[in-house]
Structures are given as structure tokens and as C-alpha cells.
Amino acid sequence: MSSAAALGCTGANSEEGQMHVSLAPLFYSAVNQPSGLRALQGSTVCFDAGLPDSPDDGGFDGIEGCFDMAIAGVPFVDADCVTLDGPSGVQVDYTPRADCAIEEAELFLDRFRVEVVPVDGLRARLEWHLEHLAEHFGERLTSRPADLIPGADEPLRLVPDFTVGFPVNVIDAAGERVGWDLSQGRVLETKGGGPARPLALLEDTDVLWPVRVGPGETSTITLEVAGAVLPVATVVATPAEAAASLEIVAALADAPLGARAIVRDAEGRVLVGAPVTWSLVEGELALTTISEFTPPEYTMIADDCAPPPTAPESRRAVLRAQLGALSDELEIEWTVKPPEETSDEPFSPDPACQRGTGRADDGGLGDRGCNCATGPQDGRAGWAWLAALTWMIGRRRRTSPAR
């Protein structure tokens, strides 16, 4: 849903926010791995830290030569691993060195902590990472329906013969995440009363498992980890013809980011994998798919069709999502600021740009107004463009099939 999904960016996650610490093979969330996270007892975690390449760059270079690292006062080598075999957690302390070769570096004492949790009483669930990305980087959506992220016990109703890629989270009774060791766990699938079979990660992905059912099938997904088998999800084949309503939710920052068409059946239950088509009623935006394992009810939206303005400029577009006789429209508005630096290169619009086609009954969108708000800066390195988040609560018109 968010462009962050496509960019694959990482940000500072140490306690003082000056470095990024990678924890592989420990998995906590595809969206964020903050210091102080909890992890399964018995997991292995490798603390591999890096500093931003530059203040305006989202990449990270190693920290060798800039920090002394220690655990409980014992020197620690970057990227070394620790097994969480006791009940207590572990903290890596990063102490800046005076001989750091990074010019004008202002480094200070930092740390990264991991707490330990036993497996008793835990379960697992599919992570709706696109929704989490939109919430993490934007904090607000055009609307926030209660079923934006279905409950952990709610079956995943999936259109047959469509493969969706999901990360898997371990959670406690309150739904809070617990990290788990990817190298020591297995995601299993059972169909039709047959034996459980391990699922392999999707090709060229690190944490996405394929979720797929055929017509009339039901699949049970579990996670085998830390000597326990944890329930993940029940997947029920649900034909696209069961769709009875459709609602667009969009994410915007200082520009449009992405949108999802939430498809529901007659009982209001969310369907995934329906063949939604996207278009523009008004305005001009680039609309692109996120990945081959992302359902068609998601689209990236980008303001890459008009050249940057010379003065702040308000822009507007009306999105349309269609599924057979079902459709929804959402109006979005945002303000574009002139670039901080001008380029000598001529502007070139994105090849995925679409222009609004209008509507047959152009009677307006009603008299409901637009409510805009500004969110706080995210504060993560490489995400300066998120400094002034502007959101728009859209006005919509929705049609349903005749009954």
C-alpha cells in the first residue's frame, strides 16, 4: 500500500535513532524492528549495525572504526550472534570512538535491546504488512475501517488460484509481536486432511510465504518453532463472485502513496485477491502494481505525471476501483512544493501515468467537505520526504449491483 514497500528502505532503529541494526535470522516484523522488541527464548539474533551513508541517503554503511561494541561489558564484534537461551534479555552497547573516519560525525552512546519471551501461550498470524507500512510511515489513512487488518482468528477468505505473499508474526494473547528465529522455524500447510507440508519462501523474497488455495479448498497454516506448533491462519477459498461491496482506503504523505480497495462479501467479511481494476475519474497520477504477489485490490499511486511547480500548488485526483458492477470513487487532494534543488534535466512523466476519463453522470461528489491534517515527522534516516505529512479524508460515491 505504501511506496515504502517497493523502495525496500530501512531506517534508524537504535534507541538514539542514529543507526540501523539488522537482526537476521530473527524476524520481528517486515515493517519495523525497534530496540526493546521481544523475541522467543532459544532464538538466535545477529546484531549487524550500520550508519547512514549520508544525511540524505537511505542506505547504511558498517560501523567498524566508529564504535566499540559490548554486551554486559564484554567486547562484541559487529554482526556476531547471540542465542537467547536464558530468561533475561540482551543489550548491545555502542560507544563512539574518537578516531571515527566519518567527517563531521556527531556520534554518541547508543544501544539496542532484545527481551526474551517463552513460547507458552503464544500463537502466530499473517502480517498485513502493506497496511502496517501505511500506518507506520503515514500514521493516518483516508479512513480506518475496523477490518482494515482482519482479526487473528478471522479466516483469510482468498479468491482461488491467486498467490499472496505474507510474512508471519508470532504474537501474544494481546496481539503484541514476538520475534522468532527464521532459521529454526518452519511454516507448514495442511489441506484436505492430508499431512502438513513445509512452505518455502517465495523466490527472491526474505520473509514472504505463498498463500494459495484452489476452488473449494481450505488450508490450515501453522508455524513450528521453539518446540511448539503455533496456529497461523485458516484460508478459505472464496470466489470473487461473493463480493458484495467495495471501499477505497488511500495513504498520502506530501504526495499520494498508495491505495487499497477493501472487498467484502454480503456478510461484511473481507475477501482477498479479487480482480479489481483501477482507473482515474479526474486528475493525473501514475498507477502501478506493487508486486506479483500483491493482490490486485492494491495499487501504488504517485504524483509523477506533472512537472514540479515553481510555487506551492494544490493538486487533486479522483480514484476509481471497479469489480464487476461494484465500484467506489475517492477524491484526494495534496499540496506540491517546489523542489529544494532544480535540475537541468527535462521533466519526463512516468510511463504508468493515467489521466482522468470522467464519469457518465457527472453530478458532483456531494457536499461533504475535505478534512486535511498534518502528521509529525517520522524521524527515520532517509525518509526526510515524510517530514510534513498531509492527509485528506476523501469524499466518495459508491455503486452496488441491482438486486
170: DSSP letter? E
pLDDT band at 54 (very low <50, low <70, confident <90, very high): very low
Q: What is the biggest distance separating any 2 CA atoms in the chain, rounded to whole angstroms?
A: 75
CA dist 375 and 59 (Å) reads 25
Does a cis peptide bond (omega within 30 degrees of 0) precede residue 25? yes
Q: Which of 136-140, 229-233, 286-290, 339-343 has the lowest mean pLDDT?
A: 136-140
Q: Is the pLDDT of residue 174 over 60?
A: yes
pLDDT tens-digit map of 2-17:
333 332 345 789 999 9
- Kind plus residue range of the DSSP H or E element containing 7: helix 3-7
CA dist 37 and 193 (Å) reads 37
Residue with cell 544501544: 111
Residue with cell 499511486: 301
pTM listed for this prediction: 0.83
Say if CB 223 and CB 167 are below 8 A apart.
no
Question: Rounded mean pLDDT of the chain?
Answer: 85
Kindly state the average pLDDT of the residues 49-76. Answer: 77
Give the per-residue pLDDT at 370. 28
